[in-house]
Every structure is written in structure tokens, then in C-alpha cells.
Amino acid sequence: KAGVTQTPRYLIKTRGQQVTLSCSPISGHRSVSWYQQTPGQGLQFLFEYFSETQRNKGNFPGRFSGRQFSNSRSEMNVSTLELGDSALYLCASSSNRGGVGYEQYFGPGTRLTVT
């Protein structure tokens, strides 16, 4: 099975712009989660989508939004970019493996730099 893919891998934007990141989960996985990773804050949960519905949401401002399509692919959008949004954005897909419950598998991430 192909793993989680994320596009683009690298992105440079300027303050005030907006950006859209894309994630394709592992085939058959219906849950997609997004995380922001920075050296100072570690891995911070943004939101989780399941069957096109946002099921969980982290503590991020409304500038961060997402959606999921019927094929489980997901996008996240950040509007009015700030310097502090520079980070590695990770997407993870998960499924219930019965005895071990849910397991998350991560994509390679999108490195966003805001200048």
C-alpha cells in the first residue's frame, strides 16, 4: 500500500498571504489528522476529519481551517499568514486495527516558511 502523501513538500510565502496544503491518506483510511510541528512547541494537534466531517479540533485560531473530500483526501488552509506559522505541517491517516485500536501513519510533511 502506498503511504500518506503530502504536497507540496516545501513552500515559501510572505506574511498576509494564504496557503493550501494537501494530503492523501493511505487507501482505506477514513480519518485524517493535521499537526503543526515547531522546535519550540513540538507536535501540536490542529484538527481531525472523518468521513468529510471535522471530528476533533485543537487550540488554533480560526485562520487555520481544513476540509476532507469524499475520497478521504484532505486539505488545510492557513489565511493571513504570520511569521509564527513557519513550521512543518504533518498529515496523518489512521484506521482502527481492532485489537490495537487506532494507529496513525504520517506523511513526510510540508515545510512552510513565512517571510
Site for another protein (CB under 8 A): which residue of 20, 65, 79, 104? 104
Question: Does residue 42 interact with another protein by CB under 8 A?
Answer: yes
The mark string for 11-40 relative to another protein (x by CB under 8 A, - otherwise) is --------------------x-x-x-----
- 62 contacts: CB under 8 Å, gap ≥ 6: none
CA 10/CA 8 separation, integer angstroms: 6
Residue that the C-alpha cell 503511504 belongs to: 3
Question: Does residue 64 interact with another protein by CB under 8 A?
Answer: no
Question: Does residue 60 interact with another protein by CB under 8 A?
Answer: no
Q: What are phi and psi of 93, to 5 degrees?
A: -110, 150
Q: Which of residues 66-95 bind another protein (CB under 8 A)?
A: 88, 90, 92, 94
CB of 77 to another protein, least distance (A): 20
* Nearest alpha carbon to residue 81 among 2, 1, 6, 18: 18
The count of residues in the chain is 115
- 99 contacts: CB under 8 Å, gap ≥ 6: none
CB of 42 to another protein, least distance (A): 5
DSSP tag of 99: G
Residues lying near another protein in the complex (CB under 8 A) are found at 4, 6, 31, 33, 35, 42-43, 45, 48, 50, 55-56, 88, 90, 92, 94, 97, 99-109, 111
